[in-house]
Each structure stands twice: as C-alpha cells, then as structure tokens.
C-alpha cells in the first residue's frame, strides 16, 4: 500500500507551532490539520490560544471550531476525521501538515491505534465495574491517572461508563494496534530552553487574562457548561471555573493556571521523548529552525 506523506509539527504549548507550521504550509503548498483537543470547540478561543485568521495567513486550517462546547470528541473520532482530511488535502495536490500538542491524538494517528475500535474485554470490564461499585469512581480515576494522565484529563470522573471504558483502553495497550498505518509521517518536535519556555508560558497566561479569559469562561458557564463537560476540563477553563465558583481567589487561580500549563508542557516533552524517528528542532534561532525544517521536508518529499 502506498503510504500517504504527512508532516507533523509537534511540541509543548507556547513553543511556536503555529508560526512554523504556517511558514511551512506557505512554502510547501500545504494545508493544516489541528491536533488540539481544545481548539476544536467554538467559543473556547482565548484559553486555547486558538489560531487567529490573521495568523493563518490564508492557509486552510481544519479541526478548528468544528464542535459546540457541550459536545464530546473521542480519540477515535479525531483519527477518523483527520484521515478524511488528509485524503482531501492530498487529492488537491497539497501537503497535509498536522499541528498540535495533544499527544494522544498524535499517537493514535501515527501508530495506527484506533481507540474506539479497541476490542472489548468483558472480563476486564466486569472487574472494573465491580471496583467502581466497591471503591468508587475516585479510585478508578486515580488508577487511570497513573496509567495515562492525558486520557484522565479528558475523562469525566463522575461518568462511570466513560471512566470504565477509558481504563479498559488504558489497560489494554497490546490490543490498540489495528493494522498497518496508512501514513508515512515526518515528525518535527519543536523545543526551546526549559526556562525560556516556562517564561513564555507564564507570559501567555498573563496575556490570556488581559485579553478576557475570565469573561470568556463566564459566558460559557452562563450557557450551562461546567467541569462535567469535556471542553471545560481543559487547562485554562477548569481553573477559571474554580475561581468563578468561589473555590479559589484570583491570585491562587493565576498561580495554579501557570503551574498546570507548565506541567502540561513538561508532559508534552516527555511524550515527544517517547516517540521514535522524531526530528528535534530548537526554535531559539528562528531563521535557522525554519531553514532546517524546509530542507528536511524538501529532501523527504524528493527522496520518498
């Protein structure tokens, strides 16, 4: 089977993925598919650092503003959606570029996982359901968090059915592979000095708050959304909800939001280190990084 060539621009939050992906798309006649589990939602703009139309510079972007904030979106749905968009982009003679930091999405796509199609293990499911009855959802959720932090972040701990299903998937690593991977990925991991990155994250949080993050979350809350919704469990939204609900004061909210954002970046970097055949690009020198990305892609397309 002829594999489909897809470029991936990955990296932690605030590392410059949007900038470099748009540059690459303009240079190589590409279109961009977002692999961000928050930018898919309409109305979650400031807290998700959603790509603005002016930042897109005319480059077509997919998987942005495709869902209402009360809807849910599984890894399986992301994979199916992205495969379809990759085919569409290739049929136009353009280069598909997947950009984002949601590791579970990228892993599912590049390793051929199909989480929605994981074979159901009735015995394991029964054991987990019994555990939920005996020890409660909190116990199951802590198990999930230890096994797969990212999946835990996307799972409502109050929804027993979803919690059991998520744990079933997390505990069935060997059964996730569903056949041959349809794509040939060229994966770039953008990195920068840890201290510089953390400073950039702290500044980004301050800018989000200045730009109206609290009002954005207030509006979403007034529409009936809460942490029970997948969208509202995202970093930036759950912390502000806690502030609006009077659980924490403003200064503590800012502190926690920055801490959670830095921790997430750390997890993103850990995820990237666990991937094979990744091209690391230091973004400290922008021109050098651009040149390195362009040359690698040109060579890969020519010799593939």
Which residues in the chain are classed under CATH 3.40.50.300?
A: 4-115+176-303
Which of 129-138, 164-173, 287-296 is predicted least confidently?
164-173
For residues 50 and 36, give the distance between their C-alpha atoms in angstroms, rounded to a whole number.
Answer: 9
Q: How far is CA 220 from the centre of its chain?
A: 21
Fold of 4-115+176-303: Rossmann fold (3.40.50)
Higher per-residue pLDDT: 47 or 105: 47
Orientation angle between helical segments 250-273 and 194-210, nearest 10 degrees? 140
pTM of the predicted structure, to 2 decimals = 0.82
Average pLDDT, the chain: 89
Orientation angle between helical segments 75-91 and 103-110, nearest 10 degrees? 60
Q: How far is CA 72 from the centre of its chain?
A: 14
**Confidence (pLDDT) at 168:** 78
**Confidence (pLDDT) at 110:** 85
pLDDT at 10 over 50: yes
For residues 106 and 278, give the distance between their C-alpha atoms in angstroms, rounded to a whole number.
Answer: 12
Which residues in the chain are classed under CATH 1.10.20?
A: 119-175
| Residues sharing a CB contact under 8 Å with residue 15, sequence separation 6 or more, in sequence order | 190, 191, 192, 197, 200, 265, 283
**Confidence (pLDDT) at 118:** 47
In 154-285, alpha helices (H)? 160-170, 194-210, 213-222, 238-244, 250-273
**Confidence (pLDDT) at 174:** 40
**Mean pLDDT computed over 139-159:** 81
* Per-residue pLDDT band at 120 (split at 50, 70, 90): low
Containing H/E element for 56? helix 53-56
**Mean pLDDT computed over 29-48:** 96
Fold of 119-175: Histone, subunit A (1.10.20)
Residues 29/94, Cβ–Cβ less than 8 Å: yes
**Confidence (pLDDT) at 172:** 66
pLDDT at 39 over 80: yes
**Confidence (pLDDT) at 51:** 94
Question: pLDDT for 194-229, tens place per residue?
Answer: 999 999 999 999 999 999 999 999 999 999 999 989
Question: pLDDT for 64-100, tens place per residue?
Answer: 999 999 998 888 889 889 999 999 999 999 999 999 9
């Amino acid at each position: 089977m002829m594999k489909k060539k897809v470029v991936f621009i990955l990296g932690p939050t605030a590392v410059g993925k949007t900038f470099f992906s748009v540059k690459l798309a303009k240079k190589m006649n590409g279109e961009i598919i977002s692999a961000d589990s928050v930018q898919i939602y309409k109305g979650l703009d400031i807290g998700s650092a959603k790509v603005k139309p002016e930042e897109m510079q005319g480059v077509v972007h997919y998987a942005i503003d495709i869902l209402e904030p009360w809807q849910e979106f599984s890894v399986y749905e992301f994979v199916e959606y992205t495969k379809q968009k990759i085919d569409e982009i290739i049929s136009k003679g353009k280069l598909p570029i997947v950009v984002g930091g949601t590791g579970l999405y990228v892993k599912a796509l590049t390793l051929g996982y199909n989480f929605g199609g994981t074979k159901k293990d009735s015995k394991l499911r029964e054991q987990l359901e019994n555990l939920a009855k005996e020890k409660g959802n909190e116990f199951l959720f802590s198990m999930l968090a230890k096994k797969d932090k990212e999946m835990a972040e996307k799972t409502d701990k109050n929804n027993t059915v979803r919690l059991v299903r998520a744990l079933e998937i997390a505990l069935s690593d060997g059964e996730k592979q569903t056949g041959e991977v349809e794509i040939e990925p060229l994966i770039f991991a953008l990195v920068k000095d840890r201290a510089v990155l953390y400073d950039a994250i702290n500044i980004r949080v301050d800018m989000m708050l200045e730009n109206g993050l609290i009002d954005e979350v207030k509006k979403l809350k007034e529409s009936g959304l809460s942490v029970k919704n997948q969208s509202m469990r995202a970093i930036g939204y759950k912390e502000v909800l806690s502030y609006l609900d009077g659980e924490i004061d403003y200064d503590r909210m800012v502190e926690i939001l920055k801490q959670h954002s830095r921790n997430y970046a750390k997890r993103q970097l850990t995820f990237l280190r666990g991937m094979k055949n990744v091209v690391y690009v230091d973004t400290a020198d922008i021109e050098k990084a651009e040149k390195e990305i362009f040359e690698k892609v040109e060579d890969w397309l020519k010799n593939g």
